[in-house]
């Protein structure tokens, strides 16, 4: 039997079936090992899939060989390939950090449950990005959401409970909206397969329900993706989640929802609704702009490091949406490029945060005093990640910002205003990052020669690798660029 053709299925099955396994592994450390092994395997699978996708081939897989309208179909193109890399890579990196970090935050007897939920989140997120079917996307979305509530609430901080409750309510509204939208389309077309849907919607004469569906799906996914002003659940969820979970979710959680938003819109709605690209652009561009400016501004005044970075994420989601709202090649590839680069930068930053949390008394800026002397490697990694977030040349973040500004300039007069907004937000990023740097390097007991007390070696290795990746992709962006351009052209092929 040739396994390679079933890789797509394994992408989801490996974490899904490992989840109950992890639950059974009571002895200390075993659950973590099994989860990490599953994530590593999953990452390897996504690399193999990427190999196929990069050669220009799109993968279409039918579960159990049941044909599409009845069976479950999976489809992977460049965009989903990119997403599987981001999700499985983020999960793996976060798990490598998690061993010591989770040991510190979660009692041993609850760890198997925790890791089992982790695998379910992974399975759900990966399932979403490989599904070719609107309803399966919903199912996987629910799996990942429910499990992620467990992860976020799993930490020792009781503030996580109200945070996760808010997330649960918002997340459920989002998922319900999505389901209502899918239901409406199903009512009009009788199919759930995305490609099928696109075909049949073109034959529908009464477009009002479709239009309503587009609204529901867009808003629902915007809620899940924390698009401003629907972001209110995100800062506290990120802040009070266990640190390793924040690494995982911050790198890929909201991006998967954005993926669904873009995929649905460009496959089903763009080709069939006249003038939809204008609705899409005019709806999302102002929101993106507000996110970019306001969330960055709020981050400047935050005192908790994790919440500060969470608000920065809201702003970065704005960058992605801004690119997408141009509905052209340049903007879309800039936005999709930022999927990758922001995952890299924010993942690196939160890995550094997890390392800081191992040794520092707390994560308020005032509690980080002296971190620069005490944890030089960790803070070095943080600085690299921060430079990438700001978009300093030589780091990954610069490349997508360059593309985004170039794409904005091509928009004419409006573009100049957009460029100004992007730059203002970058400068705000300089400020909020600088507050962290000054707290870590220049405050606290100045000249008392504090002993170096670094995070455990395993975390440091992951952190340094992540920082190195930020620089590598800043100097050679061909891989993410190729993927982003392929994804963008695949999405835009249907756009008018």
Partner 1 sequence: MNPADSIAAALAIPLAGAVAIALLGRVNANLREAATLITAVALAWVVWGLGPLLLAGGRPEFALTQVMPGLDIAFRVEPLGMLFAALASSLWIINSVYSIGYMRGNNEKHQTRFYVCFAIALAAVMGIAFAANLFTLFLFYEILTLSTYPLVSHKGDAATVRSARVYIGILLFTSIGLLLPAIIWTYAIAGSGDFVLGGILEGKISGMEVGLLLALFVFGIGKAAVMPVHRWLPAAMVAPTPVSALLHAVAVVKAGVFTVTKVIVYIFGVDFLFSEPSSGWLLYLAAFTIIAASVVAMRQQNLKRLLAYSTIAQLSYVVMAAAILKPLAEIGAAVHMVAHAFGKITLFFAAGAIYTASKKTELHQLKGIGRQMPWTMAAFTIGALSMIGVPPTGGFVSKWYILAGAFQADNLVAVATIIASTVLNAAYFLPIIFMVWFSKQEQEDSPQHGEAPLLVVVALTATAALTIGFFLFNGTVLELESQVVRGMQ
- Gyration radius from the chain CA atoms: 22
Q: Given the complex with partner 1, which of 305 and 481 has the nearer CB atom?
A: 481
Considering the rule CB under 8 A, would residue 460 count as an interface residue with partner 1?
A: no
Distance of alpha carbon 364 from alpha carbon 381, whole angstroms:
19
From the list 189-197, 210-218, 260-268, 401-409, the region that binds partner 1 by CB under 8 A is: 401-409
Distance from C-alpha of 123 to C-alpha of 280, rounded to nearest angstrom: 30
**454 binds partner 1 per the rule CB under 8 A:** no
How many residues sit close enough to partner 1 to count as binding (CB under 8 A)? Answer: 30
Q: Which helix (H) or strand (E) holds 44?
A: helix 30-54
Query: What is the rounded distance in angstroms from the CA atom of residue 403 to the CA atom of residue 385?
Result: 19
Q: Is 426 in the site for partner 1 (CB under 8 A)?
A: yes
Segment contacting partner 1 by CB under 8 A, of 122-130, 217-225, 274-282, 430-438: 430-438
Count the Cβ atoms, other than its own, within 10 Å of residue 402: 15
- Indicate the helix (H) or strand (E) that contains 76: strand 73-76
* 454 DSSP 8-state letter: P
Closest to 234 in 3D by CA, of 158, 282, 291: 291
- Does residue number 448 form part of the binding site for partner 1 (CB under 8 A)? no
- Our CB check for partner 1 shows the closer of 272 and 408 to be 408
CB 89: neighbour CB atoms within 10 A? 23
Residue 427 CB, nearest distance to partner 1 (Å)? Answer: 6
Distances in whole angstroms, Cα of residue 99 to Cα of each of 294, 296, 368: 36, 32, 23
Stretch that binds partner 1, among 170-178, 182-190, 286-294, 416-424 (CB under 8 A): 416-424
- Judged by CB under 8 A, does residue 187 bind partner 1? no
Out of 304, 406, 411, 450, name the contact with partner 1 by CB under 8 A.
Answer: 406
Counting DSSP H helices and E strands in the chain, the numbers are: 20, 2
Q: How far is the CB of 410 from partner 1 (least distance, A)?
A: 7
Restricted to residues 371-400, the positions that interact with partner 1 (CB under 8 A) are 387, 390-394, 399
Closest separation in Å from C-beta 417 to partner 1: 12
Among 13, 21, 150, 419, binds partner 1 (CB under 8 A): 419
What is the DSSP annotation of 337-376?
HHHHHHHHHHHHHHHHHHHHHHHSS-SBGGGGTTHHHH-H
User: Which CB sits closer to partner 1, 161 or 427?
Assistant: 427
- With CB under 8 A as the contact rule, which of the stretches 64-72, 140-148, 307-315, 405-413 interacts with partner 1? 405-413
- Whether the link from the prior residue into 206 is cis, omega within 30° of 0, is no
Using rule CB under 8 A, residue 423 touches partner 1: yes
Distance separating alpha carbons of residues 45 and 395, to the nearest angstrom = 27
- With respect to partner 1, which residue has the nearer C-beta, 224 or 435? 435
Q: Which is nearer to partner 1, 59 or 431 (CB)?
A: 431
In whole angstroms, the minimum distance from the beta carbon of 234 to partner 1 comes to 26
445 binds partner 1 (CB under 8 A): no
Measured from the CB atom, is 109 or 447 closer to partner 1?
447
Please give the angle made by the CA atoms of 190, 191 and 195, to the nearest 5 degrees.
140
Residue 67 CA to chain centroid, in angstroms?
31
Q: Is 172 in the site for partner 1 (CB under 8 A)?
A: no
User: Of the two residues 105 and 341, which places its CB atom closer to partner 1 in the complex?
Assistant: 341
Of residues 466-485, those binding partner 1 (CB under 8 A): 474-478, 481
Tokens of 188: 């009009």
The verdict on 300 binding partner 1 (CB under 8 A) reads no
Cα distances (angstroms) measured from residue 261 to each of 50, 181, 277, 410: 22, 12, 14, 24
Residue 384 CB, shortest distance to partner 1, in Å, is 11
> Rule CB under 8 A: is residue 179 a binding residue for partner 1?
no
Stretch that binds partner 1, among 151-159, 198-206, 265-273, 402-410 (CB under 8 A): 402-410
Q: CB 392 → partner 1: shortest distance, Å?
A: 5
Q: Compare residues 135 and 441 and give the one whose CB is closer to partner 1.
A: 441
CA 468 to chain centre: 20
Taking the CB of residue 51, how many other CB atoms lie within 10 A of it? Answer: 12
What is the Cα–Cα distance from 35 to 52, expressed in whole angstroms? 26
Which pair of structure tokens corresponds to residue 435?
């507050």
Contacts to partner 1 by CB under 8 A: 387, 390-394, 399, 402-403, 405-406, 409-410, 419, 423-424, 426-427, 430, 434, 438, 442, 446-447, 474-478, 481
């Amino acid at each position: 039997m040739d396994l390679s053709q079933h890789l797509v299925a394994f992408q989801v099955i490996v974490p899904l079936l490992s989840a109950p396994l992890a639950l059974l592994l009571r002895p200390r450390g075993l659950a973590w090992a099994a989860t990490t092994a599953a994530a590593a395997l999953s990452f390897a699978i996504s690399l193999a899939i990427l190999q196929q996708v990069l050669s220009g081939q799109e993968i279409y897989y039918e579960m159990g060989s049941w044909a599409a309208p009845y069976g479950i179909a999976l489809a992977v193109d460049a965009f989903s390939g990119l997403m599987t890399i981001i999700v499985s890579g983020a999960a793996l990196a976060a798990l490598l950090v998690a061993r010591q970090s989770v040991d510190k935050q979660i009692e041993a007897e609850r760890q198997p449950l925790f890791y089992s939920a982790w695998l379910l989140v992974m399975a759900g997120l990966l399932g979403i990005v490989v599904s070719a079917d609107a309803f399966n996307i919903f199912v996987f979305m629910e799996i990942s959401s429910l499990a992620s509530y467990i992860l976020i609430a799993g930490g020792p901080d009781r503030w996580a409970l109200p945070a996760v409750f808010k997330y649960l309510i918002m997340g459920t509204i989002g998922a319900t909206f999505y389901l209502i939208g899918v239901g409406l389309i199903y009512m009009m077309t009788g199919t759930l397969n995305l490609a099928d849907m696109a075909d049949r919607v073109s034959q529908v004469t009464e477009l009002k329900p479709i239009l309503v569906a587009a609204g529901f799906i867009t808003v629902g996914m915007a809620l899940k993706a924390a698009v401003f002003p629907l972001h209110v659940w995100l800062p506290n969820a990120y802040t009070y989640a266990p640190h390793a979970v924040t690494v995982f979710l911050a790198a890929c959680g909201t991006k998967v929802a954005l993926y669904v938003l873009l995929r649905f819109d460009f496959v089903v709605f763009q080709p069939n609704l006249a003038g939809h690209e204008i609705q899409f652009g005019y709806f999302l561009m102002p929101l993106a702009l507000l996110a970019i400016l306001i969330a960055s501004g709020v981050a400047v005044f935050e005192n908790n490091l994790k919440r500060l970075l969470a608000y920065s994420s809201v702003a970065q989601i704005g960058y992605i949406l801004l690119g997408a709202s141009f509905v052209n090649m340049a903007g879309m590839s800039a936005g999709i490029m930022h999927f990758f680069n922001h995952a890299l930068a924010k993942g690196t930053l939160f890995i550094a945060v997890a390392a800081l949390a191992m040794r520092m008394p707390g994560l308020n800026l005032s509690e980080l005093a002296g971190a620069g002397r005490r944890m030089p490697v960790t803070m070095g990694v943080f600085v690299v990640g921060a430079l990438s977030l700001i978009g300093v040349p030589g780091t990954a973040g610069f490349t997508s910002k360059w593309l985004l500004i170039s794409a904005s300039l091509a928009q004419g007069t409006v573009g100049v205003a957009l460029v100004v907004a992007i730059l203002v937000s970058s400068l705000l990023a300089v400020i909020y990052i600088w507050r962290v740097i000054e707290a870590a390097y220049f405050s606290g007991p100045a000249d008392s020669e504090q002993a170096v007390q670094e995070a455990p070696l395993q975390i440091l290795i992951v952190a340094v690798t992540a920082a190195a990746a930020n620089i590598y992709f800043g100097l050679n962006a061909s891989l993410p660029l190729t993927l982003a351009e392929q994804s963008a052209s695949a999405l835009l092929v249907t756009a008018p």
